[in-house]
Amino acid sequence: MPSIDINCDCGESFGNWAMGNDQQIIPLITTSNIACGFHAGDPVTMRRSVEYAHAAGGVVGAHPGMPDLLGFGRRRMAITPDEGYAYTLYQAGALTAVLKAKGMALHHVKPHGALYSMLNEEWDLAEAVCRAIIDVCPRPMLYWAGPSAGRALPEVARTAGIRLVEEAYFDLEYDAQGRLILQRGVGGVDLKALRQKVQHFLETGEVIATTGQRIKLQAESICVHGDGASSLDVVKTVRQVIEEHGWRIAPVQV
């Protein structure tokens, strides 16, 4: 039976400011990417998100970003490779301590926002972040939007022996080069179109760009956004289509 993972960025609330729907979404996914306090999240939110994942039997990865709470980590900052290493290690290390308290281990690292965009292009920064992933993950693993060929961090990760997990997105669109068309928050999603996209991927291993090109993906995980108006319906629809096709929903094995 073929298997696929469902992951979601979680733990993005901060103090009294609530973001996302973690309590309802985490039990429906297999992998939680938890914010670690730089772009979002705080110690209580991190602990609570880990508890939800633990109760659901899921796995947890670190979702490190820029030290930019006001901009939600979506603004580029001029950082050195040494800073990129330290930022990744610091954030993932904090989450590792929370996980250890629940008898869990860090599953992977998945960079957020502007840090993700920079790591597509900046090779020196990518090498530094790879070192941090190796130093903080018991079995180093990186989640990245596919197709990842030619992107700095995935290429460096492959060379360094880090397990690379490519993701597919169905609540965002792709351009002709296979890059995600990013947007601030995910609004209401057309669930009929979403269903068709997931079906097409499961049957062909392809996503279709806004320009009509068919793009091959070797994706092992589907990423869903937890902060959109229809996020819960999106997760339920993705699960339903996978189950209808006879696929198993399970975390990626290390």
Rounded mean pLDDT for each run of 10 residues along the chain, 254 residues in total: 96 95 97 98 98 98 97 96 98 98 98 97 98 98 96 98 97 92 72 96 96 95 88 96 97 90
| Entry pTM | 0.95
- Look at residue 188 in the predicted model and tell me its pLDDT: 74
3-249 belongs to which CATH class?
A: alpha beta
Q: Distance from CA of residue 108 to its chain's centroid? A: 10
* Residue 208 · residue 200 · CB < 8 Å: yes
Dump the DSSP string for 72-131: TT-S-----HHHHHHHHHHHHHHHHHHHHHTT-----B---HHHHHHHTT-HHHHHHHHH
- Residue that is written with structure tokens 């006879």 in the block: 246
- Look at residue 64 in the predicted model and tell me its pLDDT: 98
Helices and strands of the chain, counted as H and E runs: 8, 11
- Distance (Å, rounded) from C-alpha 7 to C-alpha 238? 11
The residue type of 12 is E
Structure tokens at 45: 């939110």
Instruction: Classify residue 28 by burial, with Cβ atoms within 10 Å: 0-12, 13-18, 19+.
Output: middle
